Amino acid sequence: CFSPELLPLYDLKGKIAVAVDVLRATSSMVTALAHGVTHIAPVSELHECLAYKEKNYLVAAERDGVKAEGFDLGNSPFHYREDSVKGRFLAITTTNGTQAINRSRTADAVLVGAFLNLGAVADYLRKANKDVVVVCAGWKGLFNLEDTLFAGALAERLEGDFSLNHDATLAAHSMYQVAKGDLMGYLSKSSHVQRLERLHILPDIEFCLQHDVYNVVPVLEGEFLVVAQ
Ligand code: MLT
């Protein structure tokens, strides 16, 4: 079975969790691993993240859509397409995305999904053949459209392989059918797109809404996200 659910109410034991924060944390992580970052430590607090600098990690932080002071990088996927990230360890903290990943740790396995690696995640889940929960990061505990649309897109890719009859799955799937012809238009009134537009980072949104750009699946191994082999 396959479903997007509300945490912390849902028990992830025995499931594969796909943590998603399409705008922009998980899109940036997928981009970073695809461009040669070898390990990502997703951490919850700013001070925790900054401490990794002493171990020669790149350190990245975003709060309320803006790069936090004192860090090497923010949360734009464009920061992670540079040659300078190749071969590096990265520690990152973001407002919602890294929290969603860390809240998923009770699952049997934790993957990171985005539109950018949608097909790769779908292939991984088909092979693993276990129950799946999409952990939508939302915004500070609230529902958001973009992560639900990702759940709907993933459900569409998995039609025929998983039972998709949970209410949340049906809703996400229908929403994606309505939106998929013009995701940007559908999302234009969403709270986070408006927030990012105020910060003048429209190109980030356009980049994150592209499907199947990278063939990598980030998977949590202990402390780190690494590319699944
Ligand atoms: C988050 O983790 O809340 C975000 O990815 C916000 C952002 O930087 O767009």
Nearest atom in ligand 1 to the alpha carbon of residue 94 is 2
Which residue would you say has higher pLDDT here, 166 or 149?
149
Nearest atom in ligand 1 to the alpha carbon of residue 192 is 9
pLDDT for the residue numbered 140: 87
In a domain, 99, yes or no: yes
In a domain, 193, yes or no: yes
Query: What is the Å distance from ligand 1's center to 218 Cα?
Result: 18
The DSSP call for residue 204 is: H
Cβ 61 vs Cβ 11: under 8 Å: no
94 lines ligand 1 (CB under 6 A): yes
Is 4's pLDDT higher than 70? no
Tell which phi-psi region holds residue 89, choosing left (phi > 0), alpha (psi between -120 and 50) or beta: beta
pLDDT for the residue numbered 18: 97
Q: What is the pLDDT of residues 72-86, one digit of tens each?
A: 999 999 999 989 999
Cis peptide bond N-terminal to 24, omega within 30: yes
Pocket probe for ligand 1: among 20, 22, 24, 112, the residue whose CB has the most ligand atoms within 8 Å is 24
Which residue would you say has higher pLDDT here, 9 or 109?
109
21 lines ligand 1 (CB under 6 A): yes
In a domain, 229, yes or no: no
65 lines ligand 1 (CB under 6 A): yes
Tell me the whole-structure pTM to 2 decimals: 0.94
Cβ 136 vs Cβ 4: under 8 Å: yes
Range of the domain at 33: 2-223
Domain CATH code at residue 135: 3.90.1560.10
Q: What is the pLDDT of residues 25-75, one digit of tens each?
A: 999 999 999 999 999 999 999 999 999 999 999 999 999 999 999 999 999
In a domain, 228, yes or no: no
Is 5's pLDDT higher than 90? no
pLDDT for the residue numbered 142: 86
Tokens 């539109």: give the residue. Answer: 115
Ligand 1 atom 7 nearest Cα: 65
pLDDT for the residue numbered 89: 98
Query: What is the Å distance from ligand 1's center to 161 Cα?
Result: 31
In a domain, 40, yes or no: yes
In a domain, 71, yes or no: yes
Report how many domains make up the chain.
Answer: 1
Cis peptide bond N-terminal to 218, omega within 30: no
In a domain, 22, yes or no: yes
Is 14's pLDDT higher than 80? yes
208 lines ligand 1 (CB under 6 A): no
In a domain, 23, yes or no: yes
The predicted complex's ipTM stands at 0.92
Pocket probe for ligand 1: among 96, 103, 187, the residue whose CB has the most ligand atoms within 8 Å is 96
